[in-house]
Amino acid sequence: MEKINVGIVGAAGYTGGELIRLLLHHPHVNIAFALSNSQAGKKISTIHTDLQGDTDLAFSSEYHNTIQVVFLCAGHGEAKKFLTENVVADSVKVIDIGNDFRLAADAQFAGRTFVYGLPELNRASIEKASSIANPGCFATAIQLALLPLAKQQLLQNVYTTGITGSTGAGQALAPTSHFSWRANNIQAYKTLTHQHLGEIQRSLLQLNGTAVQVNFVPWRGDFTRGIFTSNTVPCTLPLSEALQLYQSYYQHHPFVTISEQPIHIKQVVNTNKCLLQLEKQGDHLVVHSAIDNLLKGAVGQAVQNMNILFQWPETTGLLLKANAF
């Protein structure tokens, strides 16, 4: 099969590095350029040192349209700036990993309509799209924990806690991303105001039919990558029926697995998996979810969306081994 050419914008950060790692081993893809204004001219492997021996590519500083797909891995707000300052051909599919186009109010930009790229919700729309707004990491973990209940109109109020690793904050230094601050430390942040709430509520409304109140308290965790959430909802269904509901909803979605055993982050780190576990006490159902924030929560899902766009099997280039220990 002939390979397609792809470009990466913002290739020097955490998501850019992970995307390069995936695409170097994707059987249908050739990386045409990896753009980074700050690192232009340097070999990619001097910045992403895990890629030494895998590629001799260097970072570039110029965009060009000799590609079929461009991944936008720059910081939030940078995708709009890039599309304003560069002429991206209509034939080029755009996959934005930032949050610029995730909400309905932002989905129309520069003559493009961005489809919200959660395959387990919008696969049919993704297949026909030319532009994708990749979901946020916490948004992915929380939505996958709740979509089957929303489809049955069983949601009103959700109480969610979630913890994320330091890579979720990006590569730029901040006081709360230093090792000396993170080590042996946990902190709540953006309590009930997290930026992913809008996209979560939009997706749940799409299935539930009425608005869902999501009360979300995120935590910064003492580890580098991974997300674990616990989502509590009132629910009168017996646990066995709830399990059947989840198994039925996800039976044709290859990256979501329902576990009857307790789950943990090490099962999903370095994979595009989402693991879900259900527990029931009285009239309350708790749905736990675990993902890798950089893969299923970012570039793994972006590659999954690319696979859908080009009608390749969703798992192409994404059958990855977890770091179990």
DSSP string for residues in 18-56 = HHHHHHHT-TTEEEEEEE-TTTTTSBHHHHSGGGTTT--
The CATH number assigned to the domain with range 137-293 reads: 3.30.360.10
pLDDT of residue 173 exceeding 80, the answer is no
Could you confirm whether 235 is annotated as catalytic? no
The tokens 């090792």 sit on which residue?
A: 179
**Mean pLDDT confidence for 159-184:** 79
Task: Give residue 168's pLDDT band: very low, low, confident or very high (50, 70, 90).
Answer: low
Average pLDDT over residues 205-214: 96
Residues 1-53 pLDDT 10s: 689 999 999 999 999 999 999 999 999 999 999 999 899 999 999 999 999 99
Domain(s) of CATH 3.30.360.10: residues in the chain: 137-293
CATH number of this structure's domain 4-134+296-309 = 3.40.50.720
Asked whether the predicted pLDDT for residue 177 surpasses 90, the reply is: no
* CATH 3.40.50.720 in the chain, residue ranges: 4-134+296-309
Q: Give the model confidence (pLDDT) of 69-127 as tens digits.
A: 999 998 888 999 999 999 999 999 999 999 999 999 999 999 999 999 999 999 999 99
pLDDT at 179: 77
pLDDT above 80: residue 171: no
Residue 62 pLDDT class (50, 70, 90 cuts): very high
* Catalytic option among 73, 137, 235, 274: 137
Q: Which residue type occupies 157?
A: N
Q: In this structure, what token pair is assigned to residue 318?
A: 């994404």
